[in-house]
Amino acid sequence: MKRSKQWDVRGAVGFAAFFHFLYSCATGCLLPFLTLYLRHLGLTAVMTGTIMAVKHLVALAWRPLSCILARRHNKRRTVITGSLVCSAAVALTLLLFPPTGNSTENKSCNISQLNNVPTTLRPRTTLQKFSPSVRYSAEHTINPIQKHNSTEYISAVPVNISTLHNNQSTAETTTSSRSDGKNSSDVQKPSAGKRSRSLMKREQKQEKITKIQYQFLESLKVMDTQQQMFFFIMMIMILWEILAAPLTWAADDGLHEYLDFVDATERHRAVKPWKLLGAAGGIGCSGILVSVLYCLIGTVLHFYAYALLMGLAVPLAALLPLYRHKREHVPGAGVKALQLVRGDSQAMLCAITAVLTGMAGSAVSDFLLWQLQDHNATELQMGIIMAVVPLCQAAFAPLNGCLSRLLKFHGRLLPLAILGLSLQCLSYSFLQTPWTILPSQVLAGISIGALWWSLEAQSADIASPGTELAVKRVFEGLYLDLGAGLGSVAGGFVVQKFGINTLFQGTAAVLGLWCVTLAMLQWRIPRQRRINYSRLLAADASEMSESESEQDNDWLEKAMEEDKGNNNWRRLD
């Protein structure tokens, strides 16, 4: 007899939690510090905000589409493995760009220590000097930002190789004609004509090849070095996000369908705290390691740690519990989820709240490290300060059950969460020393945890069967992608125009105004009560009609009598 397949639900959830812990640890090593590295490369606040905004908007459009394609073709495991390998490789290409702005060299490093370190391990804080044989355009001038920088700057302008080749070829022909002037009478005129024709054809072919090869670089002559770097980093970030975006949703979809097949979807929420713990561990450990080893390898350790942990997660992807239902999938779950959110007034308020808080969170996370760096904070302080937020979110997760029993309506906690985020942003604008920001980070972690609890409870209220995960991802996309993209663009322009303190104060004012508006709208909009089926099943018998109770009692007594009769018959037999 063929044995039935065993489903180890606890082991599957534990293995998936360990995979997400490792992946979140990898992203925590690099992504929170990415804007700081872009500042080290010399990009302005507007450029940094634009790059981060494009990253979020690409994820907003590509992540759902890629997950649909992965499920339709049953290639989730291939997508996850390819995303791990390729995203790590693309992230390392950012190390090829030399800095063009102010140096972020750590003042605690001793020059004698740097001299004793091999040149391959020294942090690159200045631009590489190019060979003097390369010709530069005399018309290229240094912009005011480059003049203000203290680092040595040499502009690298693309050289027209075709003109150099033509000059070299003409020089060779003239020298050869001079040296062979005495024997010119011995050479026949037809052979000289053939050589000149072949030489002209070769030169024309070479000109066409060089024109095609350097046509793209010729179009960038109007840009300075900073703009060229911004353009190339933008393309790398788009490619990076295209490769990395499908990973989390593909893994979550496979695990959710795996648990749905065995009727254990409630276990899926046990993975989220491990994601938060992994992010906190990656941020804190990378900050400590970079602070200790800064004099040896500099800030590139963030990229190496990211690539290493992504490589360690590749073998785990081969064993990740994934399942695809053979039955027909419910079509248009995402469209139905959007319709459910749009058709409920309370859900629309939560959607607007998700966008506004996403904008505030992105603006804070993008430029908070810039402010800490202006206050002479080390990588160790930055890592510990940034790791407090996901750590408090993970500590807030076990309180979900208590809050659901204590609060009759989850919307009451939503204004309090927004108020906490507003106070957090306001405290950032009065920062004096790095360690004074720790209470604000604790408040931010609790507020974000309360915000997500309210959004998840709202998604559970309006979701229809089969759309629970889709409705939840609508709020997730509004917060992490749409709101974060808009916040990065707006934050970059505000920092460039008015400064970081103005950004934090303006964000606090907007959140405070929406907190009051949301409380008033929730009070005016009627709230639909959710049907509690467990209470209906446990209803008192007195609420039922006498005929129904008599029928139920008769049915139960008959079943008990038949069971007794069968047992007595077995004993006599």
Q: Who wins on pLDDT, 49 or 552?
A: 49
Region of poorest pLDDT, from 211-220, 235-244, 291-300, 387-396 = 211-220
What letter represents residue 76's amino acid?
Answer: R
For residues 519 and 415, give the distance between their C-alpha atoms in angstroms, rounded to a whole number. Answer: 6
Q: Who wins on pLDDT, 395 or 282?
A: 282
In this prediction, residue 447 carries a pLDDT of 92
- The closest alpha carbon to 321, from 250, 273, 263, belongs to 250
* CA 258 remoteness from chain centre: 26
Percent of residues, the chain, with pLDDT higher than 70 = 66
* Maximum alpha-carbon separation in the chain: 133
Residue 112 has pLDDT above 60, yes or no: no
Under CATH, what is the fold of the domain 332-528? Answer: Growth Hormone; Chain: A; (1.20.1250)
357 φ/ψ angles, rounded to the nearest 5 degrees: -70, -30
pLDDT in tens, 16-26: 999 999 999 99
Spell out the alpha helix ranges (H) of 214-245: 215-219, 225-244
pLDDT in tens, 410-459: 777 899 999 999 999 999 999 888 999 999 999 999 999 989 988 988 88
- The single residue listed with the structure tokens 């179009």 is 219
For residues 352 and 450, give the distance between their C-alpha atoms in angstroms, rounded to a whole number. Answer: 16
List of residues 6+ apart from 378 with CB closer than 8 A: 106, 108, 291
Q: Who wins on pLDDT, 69 or 174?
A: 69
Q: Where are the domains of the chain?
A: 8-105+224-325, 332-528
In this prediction, residue 386 carries a pLDDT of 94
- The single residue listed with the structure tokens 């339709």 is 72
11 φ/ψ angles, rounded to the nearest 5 degrees: -65, -40
pLDDT in tens, 453-494: 889 888 888 988 878 889 999 999 999 999 999 999 999 999
CATH architecture of 8-105+224-325: Up-down Bundle (1.20)
pTM of the full structure: 0.73
Q: Who wins on pLDDT, 497 or 128?
A: 497
* CA 228 remoteness from chain centre: 24
Residue 120 has pLDDT above 50, yes or no: no
User: How many residues are listed for the chain in this entry?
Assistant: 573
Residue 534's pLDDT band (cuts 50, 70, 90): very low
CB-CB contact of 274 with 251 (8 Å) = no
* Crossing angle for the helix pair 45-72 and 468-477, to the nearest 10 degrees: 160
In this prediction, residue 222 carries a pLDDT of 62
User: How much is the mean pLDDT over the chain?
Assistant: 76
Region of poorest pLDDT, from 257-266, 326-335, 512-521 = 326-335
For residues 385 and 431, give the distance between their C-alpha atoms in angstroms, rounded to a whole number. Answer: 13
List of residues 6+ apart from 265 with CB closer than 8 A: 256, 259, 468
Percent of residues, the chain, with pLDDT higher than 90 = 45
Q: Which two tokens stand for residue 513?
A: 């105004």
Residue 156's pLDDT band (cuts 50, 70, 90): very low
Residue 408's pLDDT band (cuts 50, 70, 90): low
Rg of the chain taking only CA atoms, in angstroms: 32
Residue 136 has pLDDT above 90, yes or no: no
What average pLDDT does range 228-242 have in this prediction? Answer: 93
In this prediction, residue 262 carries a pLDDT of 76
3-state secondary structure 432-467: CCHHHHHHHHHHHHHHHHHHHHHHHHHHHHHCCCCC
Q: Which two tokens stand for residue 166?
A: 């033509």
In this prediction, residue 195 carries a pLDDT of 58
Long-range contacts of 517-521 (CB under 8 A, 24+ apart): 518/349, 518/353, 518/414, 518/415, 518/418, 519/415, 521/349
Q: Who wins on pLDDT, 31 or 332?
A: 31
For residues 349 and 342, give the distance between their C-alpha atoms in angstroms, rounded to a whole number. Answer: 10
For residues 76 and 82, give the distance between their C-alpha atoms in angstroms, rounded to a whole number. Answer: 10
Domains 8-105+224-325 and 332-528 share a fold: yes
Residue 78 has pLDDT above 60, yes or no: yes
In this prediction, residue 113 carries a pLDDT of 39
* CA 415 remoteness from chain centre: 27
Residue 55's pLDDT band (cuts 50, 70, 90): very high
Region of poorest pLDDT, from 103-107, 149-153, 400-404 = 149-153
